[in-house]
Amino acid sequence: MKVAYLINQYPAPSHSFIRREIRALEALGVEVERFTLRELPTLVDEADIAERKRTRGVLKGGPGALLAAVIGNAIRTPIVFSRAMGLAVGLGRKSDRGVLRHLAYLAEACLLRAWLGRSGAQHLHAHFGTNSAMVAMLCRELGGPPYSFTVHGPEEFDRAQGLGLKEKVARAAFAVTISHFGRSQLCRWSRSEDWSKLTVVRCGVDDRFLHAAPVPIPAEPRLVCVARLGEQKGLPILIEAIARLRESGIEAELLLVGDGPLRASLQSQVRSLGLEGQVKFAGWLNEQDVRAAIHRSRALVLPSFAEGLPVVLMESLALGRPIISTWVAGIPELVEDGVCGWLVPPASVADLVSALRAAMEAPASRLEAMGKAGMLRVAQMHDASIEAGKLADLFRASLAKPEGGGVRLSREKEWKPSDSITVQQSQ
């Protein structure tokens, strides 16, 4: 079985879980072609750098390759192309991205369809219900292979109508969510007759985390937060909590791993509160350095306002470190309050301070017991090999059904892996 993966930006520091998923599928005998819409200019992890060499960028070939693909599709199957264009225009009118952006997605789908025809991929799977899922859907409308996609949240649920989630689910062979909470949200934005297509397949960690050698809890009052420095993560609340914790006599150290649009304002907040000696900004680190940062900490903290189910929580628990986080989205499905960490109301500085103090004052034996409980939960729920097996079964079941098991659409020509259009090659 040969499948293709499409991600809007891959590889990326925050997408290591996709790399693990792909490699777990390959270990199960599934051949996986990797495609990305856009490439990051800089990567820090050696595994990501190696993965980029195996990934083909749709936009890398430039406008010439896209234009040739559009012309080829329009000439070869004009009725199918017109139908796909109508779908793109209709969804574009309902979207905040507009019609022109959706016509760009159509051009990307034209090129991807030609590549998939030559690669022999039997199924296309996209990660995220945003532009990658849109391109996958348009590729299918152009006569490409059956598709599916994984929804993570929270962006997809915040913009569900503008993203056309209902249409994407209706036309997909199946749709995956990473938590039961995520499935409930996708049920909100899809037709009830499509709910049977919605399946939970969790993000996972591999043996490097599941079988990591235990490292003792440090005595130092040190915390780590690994996150994109954006509005959803609640980081101004965390920095304020660190300041209040100091006022109570505990000078905890906090390492912020990651980068993003709020970095400058967060650094300004740190300076205004006089926390330069306690709060450090590390930027993005490679996987080995992230593991080391987690091991050097007593707990990982992530006070998010909105989430899917952060992979870093699985990584921290797998490494034996408890979690301090919030009661949002899929987090309570993994982190059990008082058992493997602390869960607090989002945006509550006082409750976050209490949890931070508890983690700083707890004896190492309690933190180790919480870490072990978390390790067990991760092994049971987030083993990348087990979750990849669920995906492989879904791919096989889809391919065993007529037209991949999705909504049956009228087409001039059904998809065959050898079906391709000659276009300008992307280097």
pLDDT value at residue 227: 97
pLDDT value at residue 403: 58
pLDDT value at residue 401: 83
Where does 267-321 show beta strands of DSSP type E? Answer: 279-283, 299-302
- 7's enclosing H/E stretch is strand 2-9
User: How does pLDDT run across 204-245, given as a tens digit for each residue?
Assistant: 999 999 999 999 999 999 999 999 999 999 999 999 999 999
The more confident residue out of 424 and 81 is 81
426 CB neighbour count, 10 Å cutoff: 17
Helix, strand, or coil (residue 97): coil
Mean pLDDT over 385-414 rounds to 73
pLDDT value at residue 418: 45
- 355's enclosing H/E stretch is helix 349-361
User: How does pLDDT run across 84-134, given as a tens digit for each residue?
Assistant: 999 999 999 999 999 999 999 999 999 999 999 999 999 999 999 999 999
pLDDT value at residue 427: 34
| Model pTM score | 0.91
DSSP conformation letters of 28-86: TT-EEEEEEEE--S----HHHHHHHTTEEETTTTHHHHHHHHHHHHHHH-HHHHHHHHH
Rounded distance, CA 242 to CA 251, Å? 8
Question: Which pLDDT band, with edges at 50, 70 and 90, does 407 fall under?
Answer: very low
- The answer, yes or no, to whether residue 421 has pLDDT greater than 50, is no
User: How does pLDDT run across 379-398, given as a tens digit for each residue?
Assistant: 999 999 999 999 999 999 99
Question: Which pLDDT band, with edges at 50, 70 and 90, does 44 fall under?
Answer: confident
What's the distance, CA 143 to chain centroid?
Answer: 27
- The answer, yes or no, to whether residue 137 has pLDDT greater than 60, is yes
- Specify burial of residue 388 (Cβ count, 10 A radius: 0-12, 13-18, 19+): buried
Q: Region of 216 please: left (phi>0), alpha (psi -120 to 50) or beta.
A: beta
User: How does pLDDT run across 173-185, given as a tens digit for each residue?
Assistant: 999 999 999 999 9
Rounded distance, CA 185 to CA 175, Å? 12
Mean pLDDT of the chain: 93
User: How does pLDDT run across 325-357, given as a tens digit for each residue?
Assistant: 999 999 999 999 999 999 999 999 999 999 999
pLDDT value at residue 282: 98
251 CB neighbour count, 10 Å cutoff: 13
pLDDT value at residue 13: 87
Rounded distance, CA 323 to CA 30, Å? 34
pLDDT value at residue 93: 96
Q: Region of 153 please: left (phi>0), alpha (psi -120 to 50) or beta.
A: left
Mean pLDDT over 314-332 rounds to 98
- The answer, yes or no, to whether residue 293 has pLDDT greater than 60, is yes
Which domains are assigned to the chain? Answer: 2-204+383-405 (3.40.50.2000), 207-380 (3.40.50.2000)
Q: Which residue has the tokens 């065959």?
A: 416
**Please, which residues have CB within 8 angstroms of residue 145's CB and are 6 or more apart in sequence?**
4, 116, 121, 122, 123, 124, 139, 404, 415, 417
Mean pLDDT over 249-260 rounds to 97
Task: Tell me the one-letter amino acid at 168.
Answer: K
**Please, which residues have CB within 8 angstroms of residue 390's CB and are 6 or more apart in sequence?**
199, 201
